[in-house]
Amino acid sequence: MSILAAIAVLAILIVVHELGHFLAARLQGIYANRFSIGFGPVIWKYQGSETEYALRALPLGGFVGFPDDDPDTVIPADDPNLLRNRPILDRAIVISAGVIANLVFAYLILVIQISMVGVPDLSQPGVLVPQVVPESSAVASKAGIKAGDVILAVDGQDLGAGREAIDSLQRDIQKSSQEPLELTIQRSQKILSVQVIPELGEDGQGKIGIGLQVHKRSPNFGEALGNGAQEYQRIVVLTAKGFWQLISNFGETAGQVAGPVKIVDIGAQIASSDPLSLFQFAALISINLAIINILPLPALDGGQLAFLVIEGVRGKPLPTEVQQNVMQTGLVLLLGLGIFLIVRDTANLAWVQNLWQ
């Protein structure tokens, strides 16, 4: 199920990107005759009144097709609703709409997460107890632990902050079945000490009947908008720095470039260990897709925007053949890189490597 959740996240982000292009065209009255997720052979398609919707075999992105250069189209070449016949600004809106859609979607995801779930609060020490199992058999309830308490230390050892604090606390509880643990707890402004004796669970490990998290919620919607903006800015800055390091030290960092298989694998690991973090994972990947697509490279949105800039400077577009050759070359290189990353990342999966051992 964790793999399916990660695939679903990636698919949704691709749909959001392509939907941005598609809606930006249709809302301006521009013809769009294809909406495809993936490249290559068609697996499934549906022919609408004006647009063919398709799912294709290679999961390397998607595209929105326009009838401008379709030899079978019945639309006159001088029709003002063809994309190529629109002013530069109209075309720029269509081309950049996918990037904008991913950026806006990432922000909305973060706001929803902060409102409903919260974001990891890595600055505050300890582990928040969001809930305590109310049954009389629950160890934590008997010991007096309450929802909202923050566990700071176990047997005098500080837990620290972040995900590592949760992992450390879980290990201590699981390995201390039927052995006393001294927990240092912060409740409001008070520091308390409670003793718990984890009971033996069905899996043979200790448990005390509490939920654990380092997430910080903003139930107030206005506060969630502000905190979402802060988290959004943090992720954008970190992502931009990551891309700069990749470009400036490409020889050393090229091996860190991840394809869809690696992204799904990372998402699956997150979904299995902390499903709530899938929100943040989706926001991170959405921002990455936006930044990648805005790069001025052939076959990407940034490459098409570069053609528009050249057209604005020259006063006329580059010859159609030149544009087509550049874009086709870029597409072949992009697909080649995508296939290489899929093969490499698949070969590096743990279960695949086990097959060869």
Q: Which residue has the tokens 């939920």?
A: 211
**Are the CB atoms for 307 and 318 separated by under 8 Å?**
yes
Q: Is 54 helix (H, G, I), strand (E, B) or coil?
A: strand
**Alpha helices, DSSP H only, in 175-259?**
221-248, 250-253
Distance from the first to the final alpha carbon of the chain? 26
Reported in sequence order, the residue ranges of 76-180 that DSSP labels E, i.e. its strands, are 119-120, 127-128, 150-154, 157-158
- Please report the DSSP string for 271-318 in residue order: HHH-GGGHHHHHHHHHHHHHHHHHSS-TTSHHHHHHHHHHHHHHSSPP
Buried/exposed 290-324: b ≥16 CB within 10 Å, e otherwise = bbbbbeeebbbbbbbbbbbeeeeeeeeeeeeeebe
- Given a contact cutoff of 8 angstroms between Cβ atoms, the answer to whether 92 and 130 are in contact is no
Residue 231 annotated to the active site = no
Catalytic annotation, residues: 18
